[in-house]
Structure 1
C-alpha cells in the first residue's frame, strides 16, 4: 500500500497543485480514466474548502492531503486544522459567517455528487474529508 502526503499553506494557488498530484497518483493507482475528472474536481473542492476554513478561522497551519493506494480502493483524505462541518456551522453565525457556512456546505454538496464513498469527520488535527474510488485489478504503471 503506497501513500503520498502533501502539506501546503492555506493559499488558493496551491489547490491546483493538489488537484494535479491527486489525478497523477490516482491514474498510477489504477483509477479508471473516466473517473479522473471526478477525482480532480472532488480534491479541488475539498482543498478549496479547507483553504477557506483556514483563512476565515485565522489558522496558520497547513492543509493536509493524503493519497493512499489500497488493494481495491484509492483513498484521499483532505484535512484542515479547523474541524468538522458542524464546527464550521457553529462558528458561522453572523451575516458574513452565514455566507461562509453556505459556501462550505455547497462545497460538500458538490463533493458528495462526485464521490460515492464520502466521510466527513474529525481527527486529532481537525476536520477530515475522506473520499475513495475503486481501482482496476492491475494498476497502470508509468
Structure 2
C-alpha cells in the first residue's frame, strides 16, 4: 500500500495543485483514464469545501489530502480541522458555518452532492475535531513487464 500525503494552507489557489497531484497519482495507481476527470473534479470540490470551512471558522491548520493506493482500489481522503456540529446538536439552518455566513451550510451540502454524483464510493465523517471525506475508485492492476 502506497500513500502520498499533501498538506496545504487553506487558500483557494492551492486547490488546483491538489487536483493535479491527485490525478497523477490516480493514473499511476491504475484508475481508468475515463474516470480521471471525475477524480479531479471530486478532489477539487472536497478541497474547496475544506478551504471554505477553514476560512469561515478561522482555522489556521492546513488542509490534509491523503492519496492511498491499495491492491484493488485507490482512495483519496480530504480532511479539515473545522468544528462540525452533528445533526443532533443543532437545529436545521444553524451551526458554526451559518453564524458566520448563512449561505455556507447550503454551499457545503451542494459540494457534498456534487461529490456524491461523481464518486460511487464516498464516506463523509464529521465531528468537533474536523471532518473527512473518503472517496474510493477501483483500479486495474498494471501489466507485468
Normalising by structure 1, report the TM-score.
Answer: 0.89
Given that residues 121 and 127 in structure 1 are in contact (C-alpha distance below 8 angstroms), is that contact kept between their aligned partners in structure 2?
yes
Secondary structure of the corresponding residue to residue 61 of structure 1: coil
Report what 1:82 is aligned to. Answer: 82
Q: CA RMSD in A?
A: 2.4
Unaligned runs of 5+ in 1: none
Shift of 1:82: 1.0
User: Which ranges in structure 2 are unaligned for 5 or more consecutive residues?
Assistant: 88-92
Partner of 2:101: helix, strand, or coil? Answer: helix
Shift of 1:30: 0.1
Which secondary structure state, in structure 2, belongs to the residue aligned with residue 92 of structure 1? helix
Provide the rounded CA distance (Å) in 2 between the counterparts of 1:86 and 1:76: 23
**Partner of 2:132 in structure 1?**
128
Q: If you compute each CA radius of gyration, which structure gives the higher value, 1 or 2?
A: 2
1:1-142 to 2 correspondences below 5 Å: 1-84=1-84, 86=86, 90-94=95-99, 97-122=101-126, 125-138=129-142
Distance 2:102 2:74 in 1: 34
Deviations 1:61-115 (A, max 9, x none): 0000000000111000000001447479522344x63301101110000000000
